[in-house]
Structure 1
């Protein structure tokens, strides 16, 4: 009797999506607010704002290094239990960030925060994907990302207001009530997921991947900046590449690898994950550059910069209800190609901003760019899992999460490196408006570079998820 009643007791995926999105909300709120508070943090700590980009990249690198093990941990100890512990770690690390008095302390606290985020976000997606059918996936992803978009929307203005009114420390402490609420909702409404037996973890693979990512990102973050002894950045880059090569070889041969490279044989996962990384890297540079430009280049307050910067996320939220009908009408291939071009144009136009531009015009252009980026992100996230078998969801979420978190870290490195290079060529020590223009152009070119890869997609890619085949079939029917 209990077996026949089980399906009716299955929780609504939309409710699950809305609740687990509290984790994405907290993470995105944190990331958006911290970027706005960066100049104030740098002033208190006596460093250049661009140098404090390490506080962002250290967090993102920690995310990337620990995400590969998230799928195994969720299977071994139960996804709900791991999710709740991750929220607690992230929240407690936020308190440590708010108490930091120097750059080393901040980086250490951000690394702990990143470990919590590494378990939190992929496991949240895994909790949802295990409950939905393919035809429900696009709707569930939209429900998952819509609440999470409130974080980027509220992050910049909230971060600016908190920084001006209470100091940058309050930007981190705001995570405490959000984390407590998220824990309560998960404990109350999310069903338990029993632990499984995923077998032993791929310790060698995890160590190789972690070393490769950490060393490579250390090299990128420090090269040419005279913040560590000469030769260390270059050594980090070389060792990172060597460990990366060893990690790839190991994962190809291991029975249960830390990263299942065979997933790349699934075309939709390959394009959505790897080709989409170029888009994510270029787009990931703009949340760092825009508030920095407005404060360092234009002399605006943190509050004013936050109010303008949140336009991108506002445009992204406005696009969410339109995502499903657009993908249904045009299909993944057309949408991905078109939005990569339009989003690149949206990033490139930022290079034209000067202090004489009205803030209202800048706000409008950023909101338009947010529309296209939002559509692209949802399409990429959904396409990546369109053809993944249920038995491989844990491996796929770990793989996809690793790549997705590495991309924003590389985006920040791309932004800071472009600024430093432009400053060096210009012969000045402080970033000027032309330096930001160079960085925006570089980011736009990286976004545009994703377009040729999407051209390789089949016109019917992911159509079972998007429903595009139904629309195309109706258009062909009269002719037939």
Structure 2
């Protein structure tokens, strides 16, 4: 990052760069949430069951998780302007391909292309700010860029429901096209062409091992959800996935410049934070997928109404940010995360009591409670994971955290789909009441998984507290 003595206060060009990165971040986070309320309509159009549409979400999140570890090297090698421009082009072309899809396989393939672009937008945009904005103004710049990351999930479900109800599901992808065209033009004009000073060799073997491990484990969970894989194939994928991840860490221990050095895990808060992120997000990460499905499939909500019902989660999450720092400063990370993880699990499990005919106010209160504790959870997990990293480890640790977040999202949706599929087999799906019982059991199970992850955070140092007055968000996932 440039020093304060080298750079004058933010010039108009840097302010424009902030807007460019912020809009790209908004486009990415909007697309990650806008699809949730559209899944039943998409399933009907493609001739699929709405309970088997998880691969549309998993493909996008898993592709992002795979590419994030390579994003820094790609930007250093080819330059921030070229990579950012290519990311917007890929994201836009993937959006068009999604809208033109006539089958689930085509849609999943298009989401992979979209994920390739989305995975590079935030890391490369953040890198361009890191290298152009003065150190004293970097936190302010990142806070500005983070605002669209909060607005995207706020608007996404409602906008998706509105487009499905009054136009068609194809428009949830086509709205990206004009934004993408303007983004390409702005990138050529505003994005600096920055490259790394040292061109290190890319750890291709390590990347292949890591990527294969993530894909194999996620696909094995998708296989349990009955997407066509036999039980033997699921077992083989699980074994090969974990073997590939183990092989990566052995490989990384022998290499001078691995993607992620095993020495990172010598920092207790990082290792505990990463493991806690993975397991707690396995549960809570499936909620944006499960809740709109429950409301539409089992309770008869329209797409628009289901989207509006997601607003309390986002609003409560934004309001909770004001109290997060004070809670962590007063009680410390360990107490906050142990208690709050349990609360996240319990609020998730409370959705097993949801049934038609209940007062609307009760459902809104339930969603507000989940949004508040979930927001506190994400912020606390993110900041404790990176708080003790020195300058040499910060970039690598942040990339690893981003990868774990996206991996947990894909695995969480796949796991929830597997659980829902299992309970659907028990209760049946002939009547809406049958699927309601399957949903209720799924919420209870995923809530229990989240509840047990509180034990991981018990291992945090008891004296770890927030030191900054406003801990920055480290990614768009919390």
TM-score relative to the length of structure 1: 0.88
Change beyond 3 A, Cα 1:381–1:126: farther
Three-state SS of the structure 1 residue aligned to 2:35 is: helix
* Paired position in structure 1 for 2:464: 461
Three-state SS of the structure 1 residue aligned to 2:196 is: coil
Q: State the alpha-carbon separation in 2 of the partners of residues 415 and 433 from structure 1.
A: 15
* C-alpha deviation, 1:227, in angstroms: 1.9
* C-alpha deviation, 1:428, in angstroms: 4.6
* Paired position in structure 2 for 1:277: 278
Alignment pair present for 1:146 and 2:173: no
* C-alpha deviation, 1:129, in angstroms: 5.4
Q: State the alpha-carbon separation in 2 of the partners of residues 129 and 153 from structure 1.
A: 27
* Paired position in structure 2 for 1:41: 42
* Deviation readout 1:361-386 (Å, 9 max, x if unpaired): 21232122111211221222223222
Three-state SS of the structure 2 residue aligned to 1:465 is: coil
- The 5 A counterparts of 1:12-161 are 19-128=20-129, 142-161=143-162
Three-state SS of the structure 2 residue aligned to 1:287 is: helix
Three-state SS of the structure 1 residue aligned to 2:119 is: helix
* Paired position in structure 2 for 1:476: none
- The 5 A counterparts of 1:233-252 are 233-252=234-253
- The 5 A counterparts of 1:389-404 are 389-404=390-405
Change beyond 3 A, Cα 1:4–1:385: closer
Question: Which of 418, 432, 435 is matched with 1:432 structurally?
Answer: 435
8 A Cα contact 1:284 1:411, kept in partner: yes
Three-state SS of the structure 1 residue aligned to 2:228 is: coil
Change beyond 3 A, Cα 1:3–1:65: closer
- Give unmatched runs, 5+ long, in structure 2: 472-478
* C-alpha deviation, 1:337, in angstroms: 2.7
* Paired position in structure 2 for 1:372: 373
Q: Once structures 1 and 2 are overlaid, which stretch shifts more, 185-194 or 215-224?
A: 185-194
Change beyond 3 A, Cα 1:50–1:22: same
Three-state SS of the structure 1 residue aligned to 2:309 is: helix
Q: State the alpha-carbon separation in 1 of the partners of residues 38 and 318 from structure 2.
A: 23
Q: State the alpha-carbon separation in 2 of the partners of residues 448 and 118 from structure 1.
A: 30
Q: State the alpha-carbon separation in 2 of the partners of residues 421 and 136 from structure 1.
A: 51
Change beyond 3 A, Cα 1:175–1:338: farther
* Paired position in structure 2 for 1:349: 350
* Deviation readout 1:110-145 (Å, 9 max, x if unpaired): 111111122223334444556789998876665443
* Paired position in structure 2 for 1:8: 8
Change beyond 3 A, Cα 1:181–1:267: farther
Q: State the alpha-carbon separation in 2 of the partners of residues 82 and 226 from structure 1.
A: 34
Q: State the alpha-carbon separation in 1 of the partners of residues 124 and 75 from structure 2.
A: 7
TM-score relative to the length of structure 2: 0.88
Change beyond 3 A, Cα 1:96–1:22: same
* C-alpha deviation, 1:146, in angstroms: 2.9
* Paired position in structure 1 for 2:176: 175
RMSD: 3.0
- Give unmatched runs, 5+ long, in structure 1: 469-480
* Paired position in structure 2 for 1:474: none
* Paired position in structure 1 for 2:453: 450
Three-state SS of the structure 2 residue aligned to 1:231 is: helix
Change beyond 3 A, Cα 1:90–1:462: farther
Change beyond 3 A, Cα 1:230–1:268: closer
Alignment pair present for 1:309 and 2:310: yes
Number of aligned positions between the proteins = 467
Change beyond 3 A, Cα 1:321–1:424: same
Q: State the alpha-carbon separation in 2 of the partners of residues 317 and 137 from structure 1.
A: 21
Three-state SS of the structure 2 residue aligned to 1:50 is: helix
Q: State the alpha-carbon separation in 1 of the partners of residues 3 and 416 from structure 2.
A: 55
8 A Cα contact 2:275 2:456, kept in partner: no
Change beyond 3 A, Cα 1:281–1:188: farther
Q: State the alpha-carbon separation in 2 of the partners of residues 358 and 70 from structure 1.
A: 47
8 A Cα contact 2:52 2:227, kept in partner: no
